[in-house]
Amino acid sequence: MSETLPDRSSEAQRLHRELEAVWGNPTGWRALTVVNHSTLGLRFMATGLVFFLLGGVLAMLVRAQLALPDHDFMSPDIYSQVTTMHGTVMMFLFAIPMLEGLAIYLIPKMIGARDLVCPRLTAFGYWCYLFGGIILFASLLLEMAPDSGWFMYTPLSSGEFSPGLGSDFWLLGITFVEISALSAGVELTVSILRTRSPGMALHRMPLFAWYILAMALMIVVGFPPLILGSVLLELERAAGMPFFAVEGGGDPVLWQHLFWLFGHPEVYIIFLPAAGIVSTLIPVFAGRPIVGYGWVVAAILITGFISFGLWVHHMFTVGIPQLAQAFFSAASMLVAVPTAIQVFVWMATLWLGRPRMTLPMLWILGFLVIFVCGGLTGVMLALVPFNWQVHDTHFVVAHLHYVLVGGMLFPLLAGLYYWLPLVSGRLPSERLGRLGFWLTFLGFNLTFLIMHVTGLLGMPRRVYTYDAGLGWEPYNLVSSVGGFMMAAGIATVLLDLALHARFGRPSPRNPWGADTLEWSLAMPPASYNFASLPRVETRHPLWDNPRLGAEIARGEHALAGSTHGRRELIGSEALTGRVRDIIHLPTSSWWPLAAALMLAVVCISLLMRLYPLALAAFMAAGVLLLRWSWENGGHPLAAPLGHDEPVDPPLHSRTQDGPGRWTMGVALLADGAFFLSLLFGWFYLWAVSPRWQMPASSPLSLALLLGAGTLLLVAVGWLERRLRALDAGEDAGLAAALYGIAALGGLHLLLAVVMLWQAGLAPTASAQDAVLLVGLLYVLLHGGLVSLLTVLQARRATLGYVSARLPLEPRVVALLWRYQLGSYWILAAATGLLPRVIGGGP
Amino acid sequence: MTAHTAWRNPGHPVQLLLGLTIWSLWFVALYGGLSIACAVAPPAPGQGALTALNLWLGLFTLATLGALLWLARCCLSAVRREPVRAARFIAAVAAGLHLFAAGGVAFVGLPLVALPPCL
Amino acid sequence: MGVKPAVLLSLLLAGCTGEHSILDPAGPAARDVAWLWWGMLSAFSLVFLGVVGTWLAAFRRREHPERSPSEERRLALRWILGGGILLPGVTILLLLAFGVPAGQRLLPLPLPGGESPRTIEVVGHQWWWEVRYPDEAGEVVTANQLAMPAGEPVDFHVTGGDVIHAFWVPRLGGKIDMLPGRVNRIRLEADDPGVFGAQCAEFCGAQHARMHLHVEAMAPEEFEAWLAARRSPPAQAEGHDVARETFVEHCARCHRVEGLSDGREGPDLSDIGSRATLGAGVMAMEEGAIARWLAEHQRLKPGNHMPAHDQLDTEALEAIGAWLETLRP
């Protein structure tokens, strides 16, 4: 590492060596064990860039095919694969992971932390992304790529109409990649809430962190519906359960609901971090604080919520009652308000400041032009009658590229140019950078501005060719020329990036005169980020104290150096940023890679229909994950109990509410979203599926249903009592009690299995039984997991890793118990009790 | 500390999510209620917008609107009282969010007066 | 949208017309939407120019008047309230006020007189259209062509035969999805007789691009005649006995010809000789076209579900083609 420390004093050098020994990445083969957020953030972004280029090549293939009428450059089925993969790669393998990578890289540096709060999860997420992406993209090379369009509408994507492996590649690969998004979502949320600098209360947090917090929570709530949809569709394809098939009582429209329940928030999941870049850069280049910080925070939260209420605007032509369409239409228009608030906040900030025109600002201006345009066509599309005309035409294609390229790619490139000196210590070439911008900007508008007209002239999307004489030829040709021009622009940008690494001028410190903490670091930052952790009681730490970087490097702030050889950072209170605990983080580990590899085996064996192997690999992955979780808390490899421990603030594993509990809470939010999606599916099919058949009485035995639930209730009650005792410092007999609770959980599981057995479900014959089966398997899986975790807790209590002094872990597991209790009873009420009360039938 | 750990307190971060959560629940109930009512007992298409279903959904909308406005008022009056700076910020933003949620309820509910429910 | 207004305008003026153009409406529903479009385009272009113009002006400004923090706050608040809340608020209220009534026109509400409009059923298949005219006097079935009366509203009842398709006649009005297991309704009206292009609008597989529907609006009496002519079996042309036999042997399982076969897998061929195109718009109907289609259809429309006819020689295909061309009412 050749970073230039902000301070070259001998004290700074000593601290650097000391911290580097603890935080430094291993090299050689052991580089695969790295868990450091900077390294992994860069890996995410580099991998995302590769997929972006691959997706771009696919786009060029599409434009080449459409350049001329009746062009036979590609056969229809290859064209379908190429368009499907272009959308899929850009959305799932580029946009989301790229922005996650940026957040993973930047967030700890911006909020004054040394790493994210779950470093091994970062690594696990990266491997899932990489393996999932490779599996998905391999399908294209094998000429077996999915070809039903990137939103995979059933029944086109189902077994009957897509008999090949294409859809399976999509469903399994995307689910695999989504594990990565979820892990990033969970840990970013907890990191932002729990590991900010002391004093960095919520209202002093950099706006970028607010944007990422919203993005992370939206991922946590928004991705599970698609994961559920993918699981159900894969079950339909592999096992014949008719969730989406009308003949069996399913409904193809359910897939559309689940897909867009994810798909629309996804657009804002992509847009929010990009807007966060804009909100970070504009004050810096305007040379003044952003006006209306609170307004922006409100706009972020509004966008996050409202975006979950718009999904039906992708389905206005499905035949939903017009009043319902009007609700969604109004909600879609509503989202213009927070967006307009942000646009005018940015505008007022520039107006009241003294803006400098730099390379990053050029991209921001490009963003503004394109995004405002895309936003306005978005409002048009929210209008139902207009939507009926242009839906599924090239007008929509043009609109979505305006929103996604304008709203994500342009700010991303602005951010890339802005933070480049931080990562590399060098400046890019102004001249090449400007050329790249203008080629991209003009090429983009040439392609997509014209494409609005193509759509208005009636050209549907996803057609592999079109007849001459419909008036579409000149527009398509222009779009294709523009597409290649944009590709040349992107190539110029990449060339600039490549050249800058070798020939770029060394950057001065804080080259843009920025206000946020990341610019107080060495360039490139050291593995531990901060040699000491500063107090931050302002929104603009570097404007208020330009010497902060040197102070940090000299160790003038908290937790300077590392005397005990463990990675540590400060845990703070979510609202006020007051210090709460000292968090000890795990170091490099093989477990994330091993677990992800095992999941890759699951994925591939499911693709090859080797179900026993898939099951074995799934179990193995579970064992690996549990083994990983074993090295935590009071374990000798983590932070064993000692005599001279800090008590004020205490170590996180010695508290009742460490970050692990928050992580479990946020993860359960995702789990709950999955469960609610399943319930939505149940009620949706019940209410509107054309041929849903509900038997007169529920197939689930009432006695067993209530019995299993009561056992669960007793187990949770017992656990809660033990927790209260633990709070009072009473841990005698803890291990035995935990074994007892686990045994109750096992008994609950047994009754549920018997109930499932007795029900005699016919999941391939009726959608009702199929949903019931999935619901029961869901509670069985959770029941099994929570019982197993409790057995492990009992064992840990015996070994002394859990006790009155180490009370955190049982509290983490208790959350899962409560969740299981709630979800079991809700499922029992919805599927076992409600049909008994109000009777079956549609 | 205890002053803003209770989630009902206008300065608690949960307030940032409360108003829009109520908006979301109202939205789900509106759409779900409409869908179920249309599946079970659709009113005759000739009735136009003047059906019992529209009326019930409209009353529900007004009730939600009232609740949100009341919450907004609570937060707004707390802005002046709250001693902790961070909590004051939360209360102010939450007041704005409650107001927006109320506006959202009113705006999204508007088509209830014009459109027949199940066509 | 306004980025290069001159370029856009000239392009638009050159090419608003077209068989599929939304901007060349031929019915009340499409006309409403076209007006909505022009209205929104004008208003939003102004918004766009205003926003981008102000941003650019912020960069070009030379003098920066000294403002106290409270003045700055007031100014910012005015911008945020005006631009961030009032502007979008008023815009979307106006849009909703225009949009809801425009949408109501497409609702299959009872007509003022109480009678219900004529119903035409359309079923989407991979990759062709089945069109049915239910009628007490006897149902008429045809494929890939749709005749409708002009000057009166028509209700279309659409559904999907296999996957999801979408029914869309751009010059008449909006589109509606054709879902398997459900019937969706849409009301369209053509002002005057004429021919309109239509194409499947929901991606439905490899040949989504080759799924055209030939829509023709006729004067009502002409339409009645068109319908009446198809209620009776087509006249049997002289000769063609061999072709008929070959057809019954090889094609009848999938294709229906009134009075001869009852296959339902593929398009009904009872009036194929009278259609304007073949293969759902792949080629124009002309002499010898059917035989060519039969011989080369997997090259002309790769992946279509009709098997290749390698077992039949060219002569047999030509005979079948010649006979089918005579099938016209």
Q: Provide the domain limits for residue B109.
A: 49-119
Residues of B in contact with A329 (CB under 8 A): 111
Is B33 inside a domain boundary? no
% of chain B exceeding 90 in pLDDT: 45
Burial of B6 (0-12, 13-18, 19+ CB in 10 A): exposed
pLDDT at A697 over 80: no
Does residue A581 belong to any structural domain of this protein?
no
Which site among A83, A332, A352 would you substitute to test the C interface, given the most C Cβ atoms closer than 10 Å to its Cβ? A352
- The pLDDT tens digits for A770-821 are 999 999 999 999 999 999 999 999 999 999 999 999 999 999 999 999 999 9
Q: How many other C-beta atoms can be found within 10 angstroms of the C-beta atom of residue B108?
A: 27
- Our count of domains for chain C comes to 3
Q: Is residue A498 part of a domain?
A: yes
Name the A residues in 246-285 with CB < 8 Å from any C CB: 246-247, 251-253
Give the mean pLDDT of A138-166. 93
Residue A842 lies in a domain: yes
> Which of B47-56, B110-119, C105-114 is predicted with the least confidence, judged by mean pLDDT?
C105-114
Q: Residue A519: which of A430, A418, A411 has the closest Cα?
A: A418
Q: What pLDDT, in 10s, does the model give residues C306-321?
A: 998 888 889 999 999 9
Q: A344 and chain C: CB distance < 8 Å anywhere?
A: yes
Q: How many Å apart are CA A629 and CA A635, to the nearest integer? A: 10
Closest CB to B39 among A298, A333, A687: A687
Distance from CA of C230 to the nearest CA of A (A): 30
C1 in a structural domain: no
Average pLDDT over residues A553-565: 88
Residue among A51, A73, A77 nearest A62 (CA): A73
User: Is residue A289 in a domain?
Assistant: no
**Residue C277: inside a domain:** yes
How far is it, in rounded angstroms, from Cα C312 to Cα A310?
55
Which residues in chain B have their CB less than 8 angstroms from residue A192's CB?
none
Shortest CA gap C276–chain A (Å) = 15
A798 domain residue, yes or no: yes
Asked if residue A526 has pLDDT above 70, the reply is: yes
pLDDT the model gives residue C13: 57
Q: What is the mean pLDDT of residues A223-237?
A: 96
Chain B interface includes C69 (CB < 8 A): no
- Does residue A460 sit within a domain? yes
Domain range for A714 is 693-842
The tens digit of pLDDT for each residue in A598-619 reads 999 999 999 999 999 999 999 9
pLDDT digits (tens, 9 = 90+) for A362-373: 999 999 999 999
Arithmetic mean of pLDDT, B50-59: 90
- Residue C188 and residue C140 in one domain: yes
- The answer as to whether A550 is a domain residue is no
C-chain residues near A442 (CB < 8 A):
none
Q: Does residue B73 lie within any of the structural domains?
A: yes
Say which residue, A629 or C4, is predicted with more confidence.
Answer: A629
Among the partner residues A390, A449, A462, nearest to C203 by beta-carbon distance: A462
Angle between helix A293-306 and A207-239 (nearest 10): 10
Cβ pair C106:A385 closer than 8 A: yes
- What pLDDT is recorded for position C14? 59
**Does the pLDDT of residue B1 top 50, yes or no?**
no
| Domain termination site, one of A511, A540, A565 | A511
Q: Is A326 in contact with B89 (Cβ distance < 8 A)? A: no
Instruction: Express each pLDDT in A749-773 by its tens digit.
Output: 999 999 999 998 999 999 999 999 9
Residue B5 carries which side chain, given as an amino acid letter?
T
Whether residue C219 is contained in a domain is answered as: yes
* Dihedral over alpha carbons A674, A256, C179, C21 (to 10 degrees): 170
**Model pLDDT, residue B36:** 86
* Mean local confidence (pLDDT), A333-337: 93
CA dihedral A714, A720, A721, A725 (to 10 degrees): 160
A341 interaction partners in chain C (CB closer than 8 Å): 80, 84-85
In this prediction, residues A563-577 reach a mean pLDDT of 89
Taking all residues of chain A, what is their mean pLDDT, rounded to a whole number? 93
Asked if A688 lies within 8 A of B108 by C-beta distance, the reply is: no
Q: How confident is the model over A51-65, as a mean pLDDT?
A: 97
Residue A1: pLDDT band (50, 70, 90) is very low
Nearest-CA distance C62 → chain A (Å)? 9
Residues C211 and C128 in one domain: yes
Residue with tokens 């779009």: A479
Enumerate neighbours of C (3 or more CB pairs within 8 A): A, B
- Option in C96, C101, C104 nearest B110 (CB): C96
Confidence of residue B30 (pLDDT cuts 50, 70, 90): very high
Q: Which pLDDT band, with edges at 50, 70 and 90, does B42 fall under?
A: confident
CATH number assigned to the domain comprising residue C139: 2.60.40.420
- Can you tell me the mean pLDDT for A486-510? 93
Let me know whether C160 and C210 are in one domain: yes
* pLDDT value, residue C227: 93
Rounded alpha-carbon distances, angstroms, from residue A141 to A134, A152, A166, B115, C167: 11, 20, 12, 51, 35
Do A142 and A168 touch, CB atoms closer than 8 A? no
The stretch A411-440 carries a mean pLDDT of: 94
Q: Which domain holds residue C100?
A: 17-60+69-104
Task: For residue range A658-670, list pLDDT tens digits in order.
Answer: 999 999 999 999 9
Which chain C residues are Cβ-neighbours of B46 within 8 angstroms? 109-110
Tell me: cis bond preceding A524? Omega within 30 of 0 counts. yes
C124 and C95 in one domain? no
In a domain, B18, yes or no: no
Cβ-defined contact of A75 to C302 (cutoff 8 Å): yes
* Span B59-97, pLDDT tens digits: 999 999 999 999 999 998 888 888 888 888 999 999 999
Strands C256-257 and C261-262, how do they pair? Answer: antiparallel
* CA distances in angstroms from C199 to A44, A148, A467, C133, C178, listed in the order given: 42, 18, 12, 20, 13
Per residue in A341-352, pLDDT (tens digit) is 999 999 999 999
Does some domain include residue A303?
A: no
- Is the per-residue pLDDT at A703 higher than 80? yes
Of A771, A792, A790, A786, the closest CA to residue A820 belongs to: A786
Task: Report CA-CA distances (Å) from C112 to A200, B46, C115.
Answer: 66, 10, 8
C75 with C135, same domain: the answer is no
Closest CB to A326: pick one of B32, B89, B115. B115
pLDDT for A125 beyond 90? yes
C255 domain-assigned: yes
Phi, psi of C4 (to 5 degrees): -130, 75
What pLDDT does B2 receive? Answer: 43
C235 reaches B (C-beta below 8 A): no
- The domain tally of chain A equals 2
pLDDT at C222: 96
Distance CA A455, CA A449 (A): 11
The C-alpha of B67 sits at a distance from chain C's nearest C-alpha, in angstroms, of: 22
Q: What is the DSSP string of A374-413?
A: HHHHHHHHHSHHHHHHHTTBHHHHHHHHHHHIIIIIHHHH
**pLDDT in 10s for each residue of chain C, 329 residues:** 445 555 655 555 556 788 899 999 999 999 999 999 999 999 999 999 999 999 999 888 877 788 898 999 999 999 999 999 999 999 999 988 888 887 777 677 777 777 788 999 999 999 999 999 998 878 899 999 999 999 999 999 999 999 999 999 999 998 999 999 999 999 999 999 999 999 999 999 999 999 999 999 999 999 999 999 998 776 777 788 889 999 999 999 999 998 888 999 999 999 999 999 999 999 999 999 999 999 999 999 999 999 988 888 899 999 999 999 998 88
The number of distinct structural domains making up chain B is 1
What pLDDT score does B45 carry?
74
Predicted confidence band of residue A33 (pLDDT cuts 50, 70, 90): very high
CATH number of the domain where residue A799 is located:
1.20.120.80
Mean pLDDT across the stretch A417-442? 94
Dihedrals phi, psi of A698, to nearest 5 degrees: -70, 140
Contact (Cβ atoms closer than 8 angstroms) between residue B98 and residue B64: no
How confident is residue A455, by pLDDT bands cut at 50, 70 and 90?
A: very high
Residue C170 domain-assigned?
yes
Q: How confident is the model at residue A837 (pLDDT cuts 50, 70, 90)?
A: confident
Judged by CB atoms closer than 8 Å, whether chains meet at C18 and A462 is answered as no
